[in-house]
Amino acid sequence: MKHIVVHEVGPRDGLQMERQVVPIDTREDWVRRVMDSGVDIVQVGSFVHPVKVPQMADTDELIKRLVHDKPSGTVIAGLALNERGLDRGMECGVEMFCLGASASETHSMKNTGMASMEATQRIAASGKLALEAGKKVQVSVQSAFGCGFEGPIAEERVLEMARAYAEAGLYNISLADTAGHAHPEQVERLFGAVLALDSNIECTCHFHNTYGLGMANIFAALRAGVTSFETSFAGLGGCPFTKVAAGNVATEDFVNALQLQGVREDIRLEGLIGVANDVAGFFEREMPGCVYKTGTIKRKESA
């Protein structure tokens, strides 16, 4: 098994649906503890209009704090959907830009106000600028496996967008299951097709657990050759611009599954569980994640 990259998106995707705004000091505490656990990337926030997504209003300030006093090697990432978002990320010191466009025309218009391929070309141009500035870049195809508004999405549209990214020299490509419509056979087929486009491509996956298939889809992606996985603490999350929003696969659940197979034992799972418990306590409700409630399975030591 290749090195598995754990990309925590709870501070961004996890919080963007919540009506109760989390104070910046609390968000900073959660992010720092996730970083201390040893995950590879933390997506701290998104550079969007604060009226549309109030939870992200202080993203710039939070990232400035984190890059100013960064004790770990975890990469600090931020999501940008347009040129202004890119400028803001540059100004506050983002280390990795997550840039994306949707394969669904309806979702693209609701999310960015642009048609799908127009958004793709603008994201590709922004990604090239970020690379030239020495930043890491991940580009995504959102609604890659289906759309809550439109239903099935043509796989050729997804491949067309992936080709556009690769032709721009952007090889870290994520397929995001924004509506949670993916199923394992589809996941293996589509990721296999994307990876076959160019030998330089490395893929990331992002699955919502709308219909309970999130973890199954993660392992289907792993079989297809995906090496980077976006998950959210406590299973929190959902896109506010899709029809049926649901949470992500929980980071602590995914890490627990890996560690039961002897993989990524360097990550401090108890630290992630502690953050998930605090997230549940803050919002005063049970979260979708499992391991923070059940605890981990104690493996019998071999003789």
Active site residues: 239
Q: How far is CA 87 from CA 75, 111, 179, in A?
A: 19, 19, 29
CB atoms within 10 A of CB 25: 10
CA–CA separation, 247 and 134 (whole Å) = 32
Can you say how many angstroms the Cα of residue 130 is from the centroid of all Cα atoms in its chain? Answer: 19
Question: Coil, strand or helix: which one is 239?
Answer: coil
Give the pairing of strands 96-102 and 75-80.
parallel
1 contacts 33 by C-beta, under 8 angstroms: no
- With both helix axes pointing from N to C terminus, report the angle between 59-68 and 83-92 in degrees, rounded to the nearest 10: 30
**For residue 198, which amino acid is it?**
D
Nearest one of 137, 140, 169, 143 to 41, comparing CA atoms? 137
CB atoms within 10 A of CB 160: 15
